[in-house]
Amino acid sequence: MRRHLQWSIKQLTANYAEGQCSPRRVTEQALEDALKLKTLNAFIRLTPEQALQQAQESEGRYQNKKPFGSLDGVTIAVKDNFCTQDVHTTCASRMLQDFVPPYDATVCSRLKQSGAVLLGKTNMDQFAMGAGTVDSLYGPTKNIWSEDLDQDHWRIAGGSSGGSASAVAAGLCYAAIGSDTGGSTRNPASYCGVVGLKPTYGLVSRHGLIPLVNSMDVPGIFARSVSDCLEVLNAVAGPDRLDSTTIRQPYTKLHLPEVDKIDLSSVRIGIPKEYHCQGLSSEVLETWSKVADLLECAGASVRQVSLPNTAASIFVYSILNQCEVASNMARYDGIEYGHRASDERSTEQLYALSRAEGFNEVVKTRILTGNFLLLRRNYDHYFEKALRVRRLIAEDFAKVFQSSPSDDRVDILLTPTTLTEAPLYKDFASLTNRDQCAVQDFCTQPANMAGIPAVSIPIRLSRTGLPLSLQLMSNSLNEQLLLSVASWIEAQVGFDSLEHKQECRSKA
C-alpha cells in the first residue's frame, strides 16, 4: 500500500509543499500501479509522457514555493468523453477511435490551471450509453471489490463512468472526472465505494464534454472523500462563456466546516417514499434506514416526503435521451473527423456505412428510436409530453425543497444510489441495455431531470464484502449543505475506500 494514498488531497499538497514527497514520484507510482492493475481495464489510454511532464513542472513550482492551486501535483484521471488537446478522445467507440481533439474541455483546462497531473483517459460505455461500463470498444471495466477478478465471477464497476470510479477506488489517482446524465457518476461511485458528486446543472461547464443528453449532462467528480471531491469542484466550477448553459453568477469556493462543528439540528432530511422501490435489496434498505436513524439521533429532523412522479422518470428519461442522442449523433458522418468507411460511391453510401461501422447496437438503437420519436407525427405525443412530465418531476423536487408553509419543506433528500451492490458481470450482461439502465438509474436520474445536485457516498460493506452507498440530493446550488451533511455521514460511518482485498494483489 502506498502510504500517501491514505492522505487527503489537502494533506498530499501540504506534504508536497514541505518536500515530504514529490509530484514526480507520486505520478510515477500511479503509472506503475495502473500497469499492475491493467486487469481492471480502468484506463483506455494512459498518457505517461504528459503526466510526467506535468508532474515535473508541478515539482518545480513547489520548489519555487509557487504552486498553481489546490490541485497542484494531484493525480487525476479523466473520462474519455472529455476532449483533451492532442490526446485521443474516443468515447470508447469505433467512431472516435482515432479522434484527437484540437482543444481541451473547460474542465480539463481548469484542472491544468490548478496544477493537476492528468494521468490518462478512463473507460466508459460507448458514448456514455450504459450503466455498467460493459459496452466499451475496449472491453468492460472490472470492479476492484470483486471477489475474484480473473474468473467470470467479477463484478461490474457500474457506469457509464466505470473507468473513473474504478481508478479512484484502486488508488490509481486521487480524483477522477466522469459525466453524469442519469447517474453515470453516482452509479459507479456506489458500486466502487467512492464518493461521486453530480453538481447542479450549469455549475460546471460542459464545453468539451462530448454530449449524451445536453439538457442533463453534468461533469461529475469521483474522489475517496467528500472534501477531496470539493477540492476538485472548487477548481472546475463556475461560469464559462463557452457554455451558455452555465450559471452566470460567479462561483464562490465552498469550504466544509469541521465535522464536529456541523450542526444538524437545523437540517431537515426527507425520505422520499417512492424510492423504496421494487428491486431494492434488503441490505440497501437496511443501510438507508440506519443512516436515517443516525441523522435523527444527531438532531436532524427526518421525515417521509413524497415525489409522486418519480416512477415516470425512467420513461421520460428514455424518450428525451433517445431523441437527443439521435440529434447529437447526427454529426458523426465521417466527413470532418471520426470513422470513415471506404465506400465512396455516394455521399449517402459513405454516411450509411461509416455510421453502421462506427456505432454499436446500443447507439444505433437509440438513434433509430430517437429519430422515430422526433418525426413530426410523433413529436407531440412523445417528446413534448416527456418535456411536460419532466417539468412535473422537477416541480416535485421544488415542492419538497421550497414548499410553504415553511415547516413542510426539507433541505436534503436521503435515498439509495443503486438498488443493490455491484452485480456480477455475467448476471448484468444477460440483461438488455434498456433494462440495465432502467433498473440501475431508478434512484439517480430524477436529479438529472431537475438539474439538482446529488452525491453518492459509500456507507458500509455488504455481506459479500461489496460497497453499499446512499445518495443525498439538495436544491439547486445548495452544494454547501449537501456536502456538509455528506461529510458528516462520512465521518460517522468511517468507510475506507481502499480497504478492498485487491490491495494485497497489487502489492504482490
Partner 1 sequence: MYYSIIRRLGTQPKLATIPKRKWKSVLGLEVHAQIASVSKLFSGSGTSFGAPLNSSVAYFDASIPGTLPVLNRKCVESGIKTALALGCRVNEVSMFDRKHYFYADLPNGYQITQQRAALANDGIMSFPVITPGKKVYYKSVKLLQLQLEQDSGKSLHDEQLKRSLVDLNRAGLPLMELVFAPDLETGEEAASLVKELMLILRRLQTCSCKMEEGALRVDANISIHQEGEPLGVRTEVKNIGSVRSISQAITYEINRQLETVANGGLITNETRSWDAENRRTVAMRDKEVLQDYRFMPEPNLPPLHVNLKPGSKSTEDLLSVAALSEEIPELPEDTRQRLMEQYNLNADTSIILVNEPVLLDHFLSISRSLSQLPNKVIYNFLINDLLTYCNKLNLDVEDCSIKADDLRDILSCLHSEQINIQAARQLIELQQQNPAAKVSELIEINNLQQICNPEAIEELCRQAIANQAKAAQQYQKGKAKALFAIVGEVAKLSKQKANMKMVVECLENQLKSAKK
C-alpha grid cell, residue 347: 455521399
Residues known to be catalytic: 79, 160, 184
User: Minimum distance from CB of 49 to partner 1 (Å)?
Assistant: 23
Task: Compute the residue count for the chain.
Answer: 508
- Name which position in 38, 241, 501, 507 contacts partner 1 (CB under 8 A): 241
User: Is 356 a residue that touches partner 1 (CB under 8 A)?
Assistant: no
Name residues whose C-beta falls within 8 Å of residue 295's C-beta, 6 or more positions apart in sequence: 264, 267, 269, 302, 414, 485, 489
Task: Give, for 177, the enclosing helix (H) or strand (E).
Answer: strand 175-180
User: Is 359 a residue that touches partner 1 (CB under 8 A)?
Assistant: no
* Residue (15 or 371) nearer to partner 1, CB: 371
Alpha-carbon distance 209 to 219, whole Å? 8
C-alpha grid cell, residue 257: 466546516
Cβ burial of 175 (10 Å; 0-12, 13-18, 19+) is buried
User: Is 243 a residue that touches partner 1 (CB under 8 A)?
Assistant: yes
- Name which position in 34, 46, 83, 454 contacts partner 1 (CB under 8 A): 83
Give 82's strand partners. Answer: 209
User: Is 89 a residue that touches partner 1 (CB under 8 A)?
Assistant: yes
- Name which position in 51, 105, 413, 486 contacts partner 1 (CB under 8 A): 105
User: Is 102 a residue that touches partner 1 (CB under 8 A)?
Assistant: yes
- Name which position in 323, 419, 455, 461 contacts partner 1 (CB under 8 A): 323
Name residues whose C-beta falls within 8 Å of residue 271's C-beta, 6 or more positions apart in sequence: 288, 292, 302, 303, 304, 305, 413, 414, 415
Q: Helix, strand, coil: what percent of the chain each, to 5?
A: 45, 15, 40
User: Is 3 a residue that touches partner 1 (CB under 8 A)?
Assistant: no
User: Minimum distance from CB of 133 to partner 1 (Å)?
Assistant: 20
Nearest-CA neighbor of 187 among 233, 108, 124? 124
At 496, is the secondary structure helix, strand, or coil? coil
C-alpha grid cell, residue 209: 464534454
Give 419's strand partners. Answer: none
Using CB under 8 A as the binding rule, the residues of this chain from 406 to 425 that contact partner 1 are none
- 118 in Cβ contact with 31 (< 8 Å): no
User: Minimum distance from CB of 331 to partner 1 (Å)?
Assistant: 4
User: Is 244 a residue that touches partner 1 (CB under 8 A)?
Assistant: yes
Residue 121 phi/psi, 5° resolution? Answer: -110, 135
User: Is 348 a residue that touches partner 1 (CB under 8 A)?
Assistant: yes
Total residues in contact with partner 1, by rule CB under 8 A? 45
User: Is 324 a residue that touches partner 1 (CB under 8 A)?
Assistant: yes
* Residue (152 or 348) nearer to partner 1, CB: 348
Longest dimension (CA), the chain: 72
User: Is 283 a residue that touches partner 1 (CB under 8 A)?
Assistant: no
Using CB under 8 A as the binding rule, the residues of this chain from 204 to 233 that contact partner 1 are 206-211, 213-215
User: Is 18 a residue that touches partner 1 (CB under 8 A)?
Assistant: no
Residues that bind partner 1 (CB under 8 A): 82-83, 89, 91, 96, 99, 101-103, 105, 206-211, 213-215, 241-245, 248, 323-324, 326-327, 329-331, 333, 335-337, 347-348, 351, 371, 374-376, 379, 383
